[in-house]
Amino acid sequence: MSGVSTSSTNGGASSNGDLTRIDASALAELLSSGAVSSVEATQAHLDRIAAVEGDIHAFLHVNAEALDAAAAIDARRAAGETLPALAGVPVAIKDVLCTIDMPSTAGSKILEGWVPPYDATVVAKLRAAGLVALGKTNMDEFAMGSSTEHSAYGNTHNPWDLTRIPGGSGGGSAAAVAAFEAPLALGSDTGGSIRQPAAVTGSVGMKPTYGGVSRYGAIALASSLDQVGPVTRSVLDAGLLHDVIGGHDPRDSTSIPEAWPSFAEAARAGQREGSVRGLRIGVLREMSAEAQGFQAGVLQRFHESLALLEAQGAELVEVSAPSFEYAISAYYLILPAEASSNLAKFDSVRFGMRVTPPGGGTVEDVMSATREAGFGDEVKRRVILGTYALSAGYYDAYYGSAQKVRTLIQRDFAAAFDQVDVLATPTAPTTAFKLGEKLDDPLAMYLNDLTTIPANLAGVPGISLPAGLAPEDGLPVGIQFMAPAREDARLYTVGAALEQLLVAQWGGPLLSQAPVLV
Amino acid sequence: MSEITPEVVSHLATLARIALTEDEIAKLTGELGHIVDSVAKVTEVATPDVPATSHPIPLGTVTRPDVVGVTLTPEQALAGAPERAGNHFKVSSILGEEQ
C-alpha cells in the first residue's frame, strides 16, 4: 500500500484508502486482521508529517526509529503472538513527557537536546502495548500557555486556518491529530491544555480524574493540577488510549490505587441506542450566555448539541456554581506557586543548559545566568509571580486564599453533582484566535481558560469533543462535559453518544470538512 | 492592594535565581501589578471559616516496601550533566571570595 497522502475529504476510509485519515480504532482492526502492516501505517504517517509539517509545525522531533518499532510489532504479529488492541498504531507524544530515546524539552531552551535517562510511565505503557512513537509534539514552554506561542521552538499552526493558534499548551498534539499526522497523541492538562487545543482544532481531548493517569516522568508544571490524557479524533479512540495509559503507578504517590473500568467499553456503550436516556446534564448558569464573554457561534453549537441529547431522552437541568468566577484567580496563584517550586530543579547542575556569566562567578551566579538565558518570558513571569505569592507577608492573603477558593469550587461541584450526572459547558469561550493576538496581554490569555480550570482545581475529569463549526467564522467549537472524580467512564458514554448524533448530522467527522493542506 | 515596585521584582528575581535585565524588571513590574490586582479577587470569598484545599483527591500517606529496586547507573545519572568530574556533578565555587 502506498503511504502517499491524498487530498481526500472523506474522513472514513476503507482499507484501500489513506491510512492517515482513518480513526485509530479502524486502523487497529486493519492491523489485527493483517490487511495492513504497522510499517505501512507508520510510513503513511511519516509521509504525511513530511508533507504538512512546513505548514503546521506540530512536531519538535520525529522519531527516526519509528519504522524499526513498527517492524518489530509486525514480526511479533507474524509470529502468531496475540497483541494488545492498539499494537502497531502510531502515536505522537507531547514533549513534556520523558522519552529515553528522544529529546524531551517541554518546549524550553533550558532543556534543548536533553535525552532523559528514563521513560515516563505513560510512555513505557505505550511501548508495552505496542504503539509506535512518531515523535514529540510542540507545546508552550513547560505547558504555560493557551496558544503554543510560548514554545521556544516556534509556533504551531491550526490546520483549520494557518494564521490561527492551535490552542495550548498542547497545540502540537492537537494539531498533529487534526492534520492527520498522527491518529493518537498524548497531552497533559493543568488548566485546559488537552481540552482547549482539542476544541479549537476539532479534535477530542480528555483530562482524566486527577490521579487516574501516572504523572511519573511528566515534567511537572503544577503537581496538584497536572494530568496526562489522550488527544484523538474520536471518543472511542480516546477511550482506547486511556485504557492503555491509565491505572495505578507505584512511582506516583498521587496515583489512585483502585482499578478502573474500560473506557473504550464506556464509549461503545454510548454508541448504543438509548444510552443517554434519563441522563441528567447540568448546564451552568455562569457559563452559557454571551454576556459572560462567550462567542455567539460557540453558544449556538453548544446549545444545539444539548438539544440533540435532550431529544434522545437526556434531561437538561440548569445549575449554578457561584465560586467558579474565582477559579481563574485561584489558579493563577496556585499554578505559579507550584511552578516556581517545580522549576527550581533547572539549576544548571545535573542536566540541561548551563550559562556561565562573563568573568565566571559562584554557582548561584551561574544558576541565575542560566535561568535568565534558558527561560522564556512567560516562564519568568509565572516563576516571579509564584515566588511573590509564596513570599513571607503575602502567603496567607494570596496562596492561602487561593486554596480556600479551591475548597469552594469543590463544594460547588459537589452540590451540582447532587442534582446532575454530568456538567456541560463550551470548552473555550471562543474559536481559535489569531497568532499574536493575545501575546502581549497575559491576562487576556489567562481568561481563555475560564471554562477548563475548575475541573483541574477540583480534580474532576473533563472531556472536549467537536460540536460543529461556528457560523460566523467557520472554525471548530468544542463542548466540554465534566463528571465527578473517578466517574471518567460517564464522559466517554455521553461523549460517544453526542459524537454519533453529530457525525450523522454532518454526514461524516467534522475534520473531514477541514481545509486540504497538501 | 499590590505594591509591585521594581525593587520588589528585583528581589523576587534574586530569590528565584533569574538574572533579569533592567528592561525585564521594568516590564514585569507593570505586568505583575495588573495580574496581582486581578487575582487578589480570591480574598473576597476566602473567609476564615473556609478550610484550605491543597490536594484535589486526598490519599493517605503512600509508602512502599523498603526494598532495593532498579536505579540509574552513575553513567545514566551523569549523562545529562553540563560538567562532570569523575562520578560527580561539577559546579563553580559555592561561596564567593568575600565569604
Q: How far apart are CA A461 and CA A479, in angstroms?
A: 14
Backbone phi, then psi, for B70, in 5-degree steps? -75, 130
Q: Which helix (H) or strand (E) holds A462?
A: strand A462-469
The answer, for A345 touching chain B at a CB cutoff of 8 Å, is no
- Please give the residue of chain A at the shortest CA–CA distance from B13: A384
pLDDT band at A268 (very low <50, low <70, confident <90, very high): very high
Q: Identify the pLDDT of residue A13.
A: 39
Give residues with Cβ within 8 angstroms of A478, minimum separation 6: A195, A196, A198, A199, A200, A426, A427, A428, A464, A465, A466, A467
Q: How far apart are CA A136 and CA A156, in angstroms?
A: 13
Contact A442 B35 (CB under 8 A): yes
Tens digits of residue pLDDT in A269-287: 999 999 999 999 999 999 9
Contact A224 B55 (CB under 8 A): yes
Do A353 and A373 meet the contact criterion of CB atoms below 8 Å apart?
yes
Q: How far apart are CA B15 and CA A21, in angstroms?
A: 51
Complete DSSP assignment for B6-64: HHHHHHHHHHTT----HHHHHHHHHHHHHHHHHHGGGGGT--TTSPP-S-SS--PPP--
Q: Identify the pLDDT of residue B90.
A: 95
pLDDT band at A116 (very low <50, low <70, confident <90, very high): very high
Q: Is A255 a catalytic residue?
A: no
Q: How far apart are CA B53 and CA B63, in angstroms?
A: 22
From residue A64, alpha-carbon distances to A67, A136, B80 in Å are 8, 11, 21
Ramachandran area for residue A110 (φ above 0: left; ψ -120 to 50: alpha; else beta) = alpha
pLDDT exceeds cutoff 70 at A198: yes
pLDDT exceeds cutoff 90 at A182: yes
Mutation pick from A333, A384, A488 vs chain B, by most beta carbons of B within 10 Å, is: A384
pLDDT exceeds cutoff 50 at A12: no
From residue A118, alpha-carbon distances to A81, A100, A511, B76, B80 in Å are 27, 5, 35, 9, 12
- Please give the residue of chain A at the shortest CA–CA distance from B88: A350
Q: Identify the pLDDT of residue A291.
A: 81
Rounded to the nearest integer, the mean pLDDT of chain A is 95
Tens digits of residue pLDDT in B74-87: 999 999 999 999 99
Q: Identify the pLDDT of residue B99.
A: 55
